[in-house]
Amino acid sequence: MSLKILLIDSDPERAQTLADTLAGAGFSDILRVTAGGDLVETVQRLLPDLVIIDMALPDRDALEDIRALTTRAPRPIVMVADEDDPAFVAAAIAAGVCSYNLSGVSHRDIQPIVASAIALFRRYNHVETELAVANALLDERRLIERAKALLMRERKMTEPAAYKWLRRTAMDENRKLAQVAAELLKGEGTDERQD
C-alpha cells in the first residue's frame, strides 16, 4: 500500500518498533514525530493519509487533540496503547479514533488494522455527508413551510396558492425556493405581489 503514515509517539524505542512493523508490512512512507506538539498543525503541514498514535498510557489530553483533529483536519486515526481500558477505548472511538489496538501488533495484523481504519473513516465521512445533506434539506423544508404559513395567514392564501407563489417567485428571480422563503420570513411578508 502506498500510504503516507504519520506515526506519533513520545518513546523513540516504541516508535521504532512500530515503524519496523509497518515497514515489514509493506508501508514505506512513514513520518515520525514525537508526541506533545500541535497535532492539527502537524497533520495540516505533513498531510498524511493515516495517523497512528502510539502511547503507553493514553490520556485525556490526547483525546482532546484527536477531537480537534477530527474537526479541523480529519484523517483516519489508529491508536496503539499498552492498556486495555474499555471506558477509554469508548472515549477514544467517540473522539474520532477508527481503530484502538494493544501494543505488540504483528506484521501480519497491521495491514488489516490500517485497511479497516481507513474503511471505517470513509464510511463515517460518507454518513456524515449524507446527514448534513438531509439536515439541510429538512431545514429548507421547514423554512418553506413557515413561509407558506405566513402567506396563508397574512395574505389569506390557500396552501397550494402559497406554494405556487413561492415557486413562481423563485423561478422569476432565478433563486432557490428556500432563499425566497427565507427572504419572505425575514421581511415578514412585506412583498405585496399576489397570485
Amino acid 165: pLDDT:
96
Share of residues in the chain with pLDDT > 90 (%): 68
d(CA 129, CA 62): 26
Domain with residue 152: its CATH number is 1.10.10.10
Q: What is the pLDDT of residues 28-56, one digit of tens each?
A: 999 999 887 889 999 999 999 999 998 87
Same structural domain for residues 139 and 100?
no
User: Are 21 and 94 within one domain?
Assistant: yes
pLDDT reported for residue 1:
52
* Domain span including residue 162: 134-186
Report d(CA 26, CA 179) in Å as an integer.
52
What are the grid coordinates assigned to 94, written together?
A: 467517540
Number of domains in the chain: 2
CA distance 8 to 53: 5
Residue 125: inside a domain: no
Residues in contact with 26: Cβ distance below 8 Å, sequence separation at least 6, in sequence order: 1, 111
Residue 192 lies inside a defined structural domain of this protein: no
Question: 501480519: which residue's cell?
Answer: 108
Which regions in the chain score pLDDT beneath 50?
189-195
Question: What is the residue-averaged pLDDT of the chain?
Answer: 90
- The Cα 31–Cα 89 span in angstroms is 25
Give the residue from 90, 96, 89 showing the smallest Cα distance to 39. Answer: 96
User: Using CA atoms, how far apart are residues 85 and 165, in angstroms rounded to an integer?
Assistant: 60
Q: Are residues 36 and 91 in the same domain?
A: yes
Are 90 and 147 in the same domain? Answer: no
Give the global pTM.
Answer: 0.74
- As a 3-state breakdown, the chain gives helix, strand, coil percent values, each rounded to 5, of 60, 15, 25
pLDDT reported for residue 34: 86
